[in-house]
């Protein structure tokens, strides 16, 4: 198989990485944020067109206030830098998730980053912030119901493709490969609809140490898979 067009990543293990080094958890997130830039550039170099990163889930609000604040600050700081990277690398930035719960200033920053980078297509970087797949599907269903109620959509017209168009990921193809770092093997409410036919790759490497070489390993493993969509397996 060829290089996956779309890779989705659950960037796990920042906290454990920091603890092992005797550092506070937030130092792990800082190292993790730094790594995002490296992986974007590596992905582009390796021929990946779409990279979708799970940065903050709908469940992450339950972390201590200081950690939530530190993560939001990191994300906002990263976004500033990211716009520069977008210009240099022709990268289209998108954010998925319910951004209405974020600080108004941060929301504006997101809208602006998406706007200025929308002319680029070499790499599509999507960052999931206050994202949860169940929340995304519920928001989509509410909009479907409203459109059916107002007559904009006929119930008979509701196909998988139409439902897709109500999701935050409507502009993205489904991921070919999901990577989760740091040993856990679960989806944690990430892209449940979109990952229906994706290949999964789990590694024990914590996110701050997941470098270009590790990304290449994941892509190599993907290339050796025999991907199927419910048909008969070739002998």
Positions touching ligand FPP (CB under 6 A) are 11-16, 29, 32-33, 36, 53, 55, 60, 74-75, 78, 127, 182, 207
Which of 12, 26, 168, 176 does the annotation list as catalytic?
12
Question: Is the Cβ–Cβ distance between 72 and 31 less than 8 Å?
Answer: no
| 168 has catalytic annotation | no
Cβ-based nearer residue to ligand FPP, 4 or 28: 28
Task: Choose among 122, 123, 98: nearest CA to 110.
Answer: 98
Shortest spacing between CB 175 and ligand FPP, in angstroms: 17
Cβ-based nearer residue to ligand FPP, 11 or 179: 11
CA distance 211 to 119: 28
HSE-CB for 114 with a 13 A CA cutoff: 13
Cβ-based nearer residue to ligand FPP, 14 or 198: 14
Shortest spacing between CB 28 and ligand FPP, in angstroms: 6
Tokens found for residue 117: 């980078």
| 14 has catalytic annotation | no
Q: By Cβ distance, which residue is nearest to ligand FPP?
A: 15
CB neighbourhood size of 161 (10 A): 7
Question: Is the Cβ–Cβ distance between 14 and 33 less than 8 Å?
Answer: no
Question: Is the Cβ–Cβ distance between 7 and 50 less than 8 Å?
Answer: yes
Which of 38, 60, 80, 224 does the annotation list as catalytic?
60
Shortest spacing between CB 35 and ligand FPP, in angstroms: 7
Cβ-based nearer residue to ligand FPP, 116 or 141: 116
Shortest spacing between CB 190 and ligand FPP, in angstroms: 11
Contacts of 65 (CB under 8 A, 6+ apart): none
Which residues are tagged catalytic?
12, 60
């Amino acid at each position: 198989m060829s290089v996956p067009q779309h890779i989705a990543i659950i960037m796990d293990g920042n906290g454990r990485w920091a603890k092992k080094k005797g550092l506070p958890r937030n130092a792990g997130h800082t190292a993790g944020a730094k790594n995002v830039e490296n992986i974007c550039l590596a992905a582009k170099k390796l021929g990946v067109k779409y990279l979708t990163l799970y940065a903050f889930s709908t469940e992450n609000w339950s972390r201590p206030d200081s950690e939530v604040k530190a993560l939001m600050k990191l994300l906002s700081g990263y976004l500033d830098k990211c716009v520069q990277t977008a210009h240099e690398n022709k990268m289209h930035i998108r954010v998925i998730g319910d951004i209405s719960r974020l600080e108004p200033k941060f929301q504006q920053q997101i809208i602006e980053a998406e706007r200025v980078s929308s002319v680029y297509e070499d790499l599509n970087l999507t960052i999931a912030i206050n994202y949860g797949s169940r929340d995304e599907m519920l928001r989509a269903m509410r909009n479907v119901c409203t459109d059916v109620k107002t007559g904009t959509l006929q119930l008979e017209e509701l196909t998988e493709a139409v439902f897709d168009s109500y999701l935050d990921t409507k502009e993205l193809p489904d991921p070919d490969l999901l990577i989760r770092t740091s040993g856990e093997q679960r989806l944690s409410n990430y892209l449940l609809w979109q990952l229906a036919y994706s290949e999964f790759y789990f590694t024990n490497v914590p996110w701050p140490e997941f470098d270009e070489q590790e990304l290449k390993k994941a892509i190599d493993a993907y290339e050796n898979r025999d991907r199927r969509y419910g048909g008969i397996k070739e002998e």
